[in-house]
């Protein structure tokens, strides 16, 4: 089939590559000209896609990156995988709307459009369908097919990737569901059909809200346990020995990526707007997780004070700018707020992260460095924020004066865990 993937980021690019690898002819469409130039040159900026994989499908002619809307013409299947940010607490679906309008100009009878972008229940049927109908003159479910399949990309996860992770699929009617299963069944190992697009949209928000709430629980517990003089990490390991009724979550410096800082708020916003009620679990989790970077800074300030040092003028080395280990994804990363707070307090902030190559999500005042013995020894404090496998943590312990470890990876007299 001729497949168009709108959006070539952490979701769209792996899908485009996989679709090309299994035999589809794929157009990777993105309005970002710089991204398209890098893709055309065989350069991948996404951890889950190697440049070698990208070059192979470029050479075969199976993949065409493009920023020209006309390249979308003639598609059999089109997938919308664009960002859905929050603007002052309100979902911004402008990228979805623009994508739907673009695809509508090239929509043909019998074609299928799939939405993957995370959003609130009702978006596929109430927003995307009317835009496609208006721009094409065709009727959704009769002339063309439409469905929703939430992305489940976990950057850097080698076990559960696009192919091995079960894919929830839905359609606005039975015929649409059949087309969705046919396409996604060609690129993933297992599809999970559900009865309605709203069910699939809610399922995605449920997955992320579950994680968000439980991470907030252990984050708040970590704060209180420290004040009570209890090792929260040992308590978590002890609780994890229970073989039923418990799932392990661990504290950290905050949450990042698109899923946890943003997605649960879509559900909260929808509940408030539609039902006039507050989704209290989400709002509480937001409050706790959003303030973890502030707590990390307070702990660092207290540690420097014990050494009779002010933050103003201290050299602080941050290890990890990504929001999680072994990925270059720095979207909404807690490292950015931690760096900004320290810089505003007068600290000299340096950061090491071999995975984060784009500086768009990094405070421009941060000095990027490699993790070396000299950089470690020169820092008044080292803060481990993302425990990348590429980091030589033994080197850190040997040469650091003080380490605040937010991931519980280090031990020693100069190490303090979150």
Residue range 18-59, pLDDT digits in tens: 999 999 999 999 999 999 999 999 999 888 899 999 999 999
Residue 155 has pLDDT above 90, yes or no: no
Give the Cα separation of 98 and 108 in Å (integer): 18
Token pair for 131? 């835009």
Cα angle 81, 334, 123; round to 5: 30
Long-range contacts of 200-204 (CB under 8 A, 24+ apart): 200/148, 200/149, 200/150, 200/168, 200/169, 200/170, 201/119, 201/120, 201/121, 201/122, 201/123, 201/124, 201/148, 201/150, 202/121, 202/267, 203/150, 203/168, 204/118, 204/150, 204/151, 204/152, 204/168, 204/263
CA dihedral 395, 398, 402, 406 (to 10 degrees): 40
- Average pLDDT of the residues in 60-71: 97
pTM of the model: 0.88
Residue 21: predicted pLDDT: 97
pLDDT band of residue 260 (cuts 50, 70, 90) is low
Task: Say if residue 207 is exposed, middle or buried (CB neighbours under 10 Å; 0-12, 13-18, 19+).
Answer: middle
Nearest residue to 194 via CA among 181, 184, 207, 208 = 181
Q: Are 206 and 264 in contact (CB under 8 A)?
A: no
Buried b vs exposed e over 291-314: b needs ≥16 C-beta within 10 Å? Answer: bbbebbbebbbebbeeeebebeeb
What is the per-residue pLDDT for 261?
67
Active site residue 259: yes
What rounded mean pLDDT belongs to the chain? Answer: 94
Instruction: Say if residue 357 is exposed, middle or buried (CB neighbours under 10 Å; 0-12, 13-18, 19+).
Output: exposed
Indicate the SS3 state at residue 112: strand
- Active-site residue among 259, 319, 371, 404? 259
């Amino acid at each position: 089939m001729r497949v168009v993937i709108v959006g070539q980021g952490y979701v769209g690019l792996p899908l485009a590559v996989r679709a090309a690898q299994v035999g589809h002819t794929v157009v990777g469409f993105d309005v970002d000209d710089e991204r398209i130039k890098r893709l055309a040159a065989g350069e991948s900026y996404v951890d889950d896609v190697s440049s070698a994989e990208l070059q192979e499908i470029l050479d075969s002619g199976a993949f065409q990156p493009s920023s020209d809307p006309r390249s979308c013409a003639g598609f059999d299947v089109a997938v919308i995988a664009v960002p859905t940010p929050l603007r002052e607490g309100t979902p911004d679906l402008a990228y979805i709307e623009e994508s739907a309008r673009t695809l509508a100009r090239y929509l043909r009878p019998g074609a299928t459009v799939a939405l993957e972008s995370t959003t609130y229940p009702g978006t596929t049927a109430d927003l995307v369908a009317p835009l496609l109908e208006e721009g094409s003159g065709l009727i959704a479910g009769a002339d063309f097919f439409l469905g929703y399949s939430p992305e489940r990309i976990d950057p850097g996860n080698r076990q559960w990737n696009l192919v091995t992770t079960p894919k929830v699929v839905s359609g606005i009617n039975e015929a649409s569901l059949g087309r969705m299963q046919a396409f996604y069944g060609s690129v993933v190992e297992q599809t999970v059909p559900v009865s309605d697009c709203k069910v699939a949209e809610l399922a995605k928000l449920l997955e992320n809200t579950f994680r968000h709430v439980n991470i907030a629980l252990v984050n708040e517990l970590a704060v209180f346990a420290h004040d009570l003089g209890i090792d929260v990490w040992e308590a978590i390991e002890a609780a994890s020995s229970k073989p039923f009724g418990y799932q392990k979550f661990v504290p950290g410096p905050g949450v990042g990526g698109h899923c946890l800082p943003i997605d649960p708020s879509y559900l909260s916003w929808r509940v408030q707007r539609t039902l006039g009620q507050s989704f209290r679990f989400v709002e509480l989790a937001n409050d706790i997780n959003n303030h973890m970077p502030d707590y990390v800074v307070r702990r660092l300030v207290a540690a420097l004070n014990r050494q009779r040092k002010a933050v103003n003028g201290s050299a602080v080395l941050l290890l990890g700018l990504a929001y999680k280990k072994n990925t270059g994804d720095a979207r909404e990363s807690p490292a950015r707020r931690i760096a900004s707070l320290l810089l505003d307090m007068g600290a000299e902030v340096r950061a090491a992260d071999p995975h984060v190559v784009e500086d768009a999500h990094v405070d421009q005042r941060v000095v990027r460095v490699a993790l070396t013995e000299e950089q470690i020894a020169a820092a008044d404090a080292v803060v481990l924020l993302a425990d990348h496998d590429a980091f030589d943590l033994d080197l850190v312990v040997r040469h650091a004066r003080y380490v605040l470890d937010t991931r519980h990876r280090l031990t020693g007299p100069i190490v303090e865990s979150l």
